[in-house]
Amino acid sequence: MENKLYKVSSSPHIRANRDTETIMQDVALALLPAALFGIYNFGYRAALIIIISVLTCVLSEYIFQLAMKKPITISDGSALVTGLLIALILPHTVPYWIPVLGGLFAIILVKQLYGGIGQNFVNPAIAARVFLTIAYTNYLAKYVVDGVTSVTPLAVVKAGGESVELSKLIWGTVGGSLGETSVVFLLIGAAYLVYRKVISLKIPLIYIATVFVFAGLLGPEMFDLNYMLAQVFSGGLIIGAFFMATDYVTSPVTPKGQIIFAFMLGLLTMLIRLYSGYPEGVSFAIMFMNLWVPIIEKFTRPTVFGKERKNERHN
Amino acid sequence: MGITNTFKRGIHPKDFKEMSKNVSIDTYRPFGEIIIPMSQHLGGPAEPIVNKGDRVLVGQKIGELKGFVSASVHSSVSGTVKEIKNVILANGTNSNAVVITNDNLYEKVESMNHENILENLTVTEIREKIKEAGIVGLGGAGFPTHIKLTPPADTKIDYIIVNGSECEPYLTSDYRIMLEEPNLLISGINIILKLFPEAKCIIAIENNKKEAIELLNNIVGNDPRISVKGLKTKYPQGAEKQLVYATTGRSFTSQKLPLNVGCIVQNIDTVVAIHKAILTNEPLLTRVVTITGDAITTPKNLRVRIGTNLNELIEAADGFKNGKTPEKIISGGPMMGKALFTTDVPITKGTSAFVFMSKDEVAESKPTNCIRCGGCVTVCPNGLLPLYLAKASIEGDEEEFIKLNGMECCECGCCSYTCPSKIHLAHAISSMRRDILAKRKK
């Protein structure tokens, strides 16, 4: 037999098929139905906002890494996902420089300056949205449906007006950010992510259930089902719960931590929606809870196998 | 019986067992030189008791155990001692070894021509015979069996768990033994049960080996002391802690042993070796080895004599497929096995399989930044946070590593397997763990 030296490496010698790239591709794919509906609902401007936002994110990541002489990672798809998310949570009426600014803020300041993928401590798209909301409130709060400037369902609710028809909320033919209005199309994408095991339902379901319950407790009338459902189906809750609160990088890795994280998101969202100056609280809540992740993880470390139960002599 | 039939977390890798699961065990007789390493077990190496030029017989003891944790070794062929030298083993370590020129006569030592009857043997005689036979755990760790079967006097053993889970992908040797030598297995179990009159035996088999479960169930019948338990097919079902939990519901940390919760775990082939040692006076001379993988022509299960050169087994399996050299060769299964840099190694007591792979998946996947997906946390059977343990290891932070329970890692490799960023988590964790263990020994 020939005297060849074979390759060695430490075990294990096999790897699962999944990698960062396939995960990001799945997320991007899952956002498509909502994006397409946004274009259908709000017209060509929505398409342009999406294209500008995605291009800004991917290009700024590429140029930054080139300038910093770092390995180029745009092929992992994470910048694409950030770009898509930023566009989907902006109103289609914003000036075209708004998604550019948001993309730069998310990719350069929030993601790359902290070390790139995996190193950011708040979700880049959420941080961009919060920054834009505060800095350019006038542009961000302008929602138009059918050519008429209108207020979002949440703003209506907040102002104490008549609530919007539930069916409209579910299909998404209401005012709002261009990709966040359609519950149906967002859930199609979310179902795909669950099927592909990219996300688990734990965080989204606890988040949404908490909002539902607190809407019932804190709403104008105790447990008004219509009001509770309106709170769940309007604003950015569905896109936030399924696509942003589940962001790997900025949510806890510990099973118990995820429960606390999701519950706090629900509580904070309702507190902001009901008692702050803003009609919507999803972005603020997610960003705020992102900051708590390290401390949540520290106190929710899983129990080591063998310590969880008394060693029974008989069973 | 326990409420559960599995453990928490774990992974479901593709098992690749179809390549060799229906191939009956062939007995392989080596023709070339035989190399018997003195260190094929956990603990101190045996000491050679033969000299260059000595004629040795099949079953003759050639290395005497030395120290408390140690095991004797025997010649698996008849022939002449050519030399005593240092050799490289399949697990990458090296050991002093007796090299024997095989005369192909297979002349046995006298005692192997006699048979014993279990009823006539005392408990002490059984233990002594197991010790004399040089039996060690054949699952890979190689812990001397006579020590395992001699727990401290105040320990009550409730369960003997025979580990037929064979959860590593590719491996089929235990499965074939269960199908082809079930009576030897049951006989071995009855010997162990004689040592522990109050214990019951559970043969634990993963549910993907239905034929073995059925067959053994039929043989066991209504035996009040032996039962067969089907386990969920999941890796690492055969890891000691996970197996004890899945079969009995009892659990323990790395500070303890199965015997602390009243259990003793035995590998399938080890139990067969016990049968042979006690009833036919045959010391541990052979073991079943699976030769498999997509880079070998004819996957096989072979009963191989200890000391046979791996190159002979490659030829027995009709060589490399299409004459192409494999990218990677693994001794053991792909999850916990060791990659070989050479095929010029002897079969030892702990080598359960050789997997010949045409692709090196590890070399093909480049590690990228951790995206904190938590996949490693979801699969870790010991409830650890592999991402943070690997970080502590890379940063050299032993204090943090211990605080995060890094010493509880069993090196099963689930974390590395599942990581989408292809980070070598298990490698990082096991290196720091071994460093700390080595320091503690000093």
- pLDDT, residue A160, reads 59
* Closest in B342, B382, B422 to A15, CB measured: B422
User: In this complex, do B337 and A13 lie within 8 Å of one another by their Cβ atoms?
Assistant: yes
- pLDDT, residue B121, reads 93
B positions 396-435 inside 8 Å of A (CB)? 404-405, 408, 411, 413, 416-422, 424, 426-427, 430
For residue B298, the Cα-to-chain-centroid distance in whole angstroms is 23
Beta strand B73-74 pairing with B61-64: antiparallel
For residue A36, pLDDT over 60 is answered with yes
Report how many Cβ contacts below 8 Å link chain A to chain B.
189
For residue A171, pLDDT over 90 is answered with no
> Are the C-beta atoms of residues B424 and B363 closer than 8 Å to each other?
no
Among the listed residues A73, A139, A131, A70, the one whose alpha carbon sits nearest the alpha carbon of residue A104: A131
ipTM of the complex: 0.90
* Closest in A5, A252, A301 to B341, CB measured: A5
Counting every residue, how long is chain A? 315
> How sure is the predictor about A1, in pLDDT bands with cuts at 50, 70 and 90?
very low
> Are the C-beta atoms of residues B41 and B193 closer than 8 Å to each other?
no
B positions 126-165 inside 8 Å of A (CB)? 158
Measured between beta carbons, which residues in chain B are less than 8 angstroms from residue A4? 325, 342
Q: Which residues, other chains included, contact A35 with Cβ-Cβ below 8 Å and sequence gap of 6+?
A: A50, A84, A87, A88, A179
For residue A164, pLDDT over 80 is answered with no
A229: enclosing H helix or E strand: helix A225-233
Measured between beta carbons, which residues in chain B are less than 8 angstroms from residue A7? 327-328, 339, 341, 360, 363
Residue A273's beta-bridge partner residues? Answer: none
pLDDT tens for A84-128 read: 999 999 999 999 999 999 999 999 999 999 999 999 999 999 999
> How sure is the predictor about A157, in pLDDT bands with cuts at 50, 70 and 90?
low
pLDDT tens for B79-123 read: 999 999 999 998 888 899 999 999 999 999 999 989 999 999 999
CB atoms within 10 A of CB B147: 18
Measured between beta carbons, which residues in chain B are less than 8 angstroms from residue A74? none
pLDDT tens for B208-246 read: 999 999 999 999 999 999 999 999 999 999 999 999 999
Measured between beta carbons, which residues in chain B are less than 8 angstroms from residue A302? 377, 383-385
Question: Does B8 contact A at CB distance below 8 Å?
Answer: yes
B positions 244-263 inside 8 Å of A (CB)? 245, 248-254, 256, 260-262
Q: How far apart are CA B116 and CA A125, in angstroms?
A: 76
* Closest in B158, B260, B338 to A11, CB measured: B338
Evaluate the omega torsion of the peptide bond into residue A220 and state whether it is cis, within 30 degrees of 0: no
Q: How far apart are CA A145 and CA A176, in angstroms?
A: 9
The low-confidence residues of chain B, meaning pLDDT below 70, are: 1-3
Name the more confident of B430 and A234: B430
CA distance B131 to chain A (A): 30
Evaluate the omega torsion of the peptide bond into residue B48 and state whether it is cis, within 30 degrees of 0: no
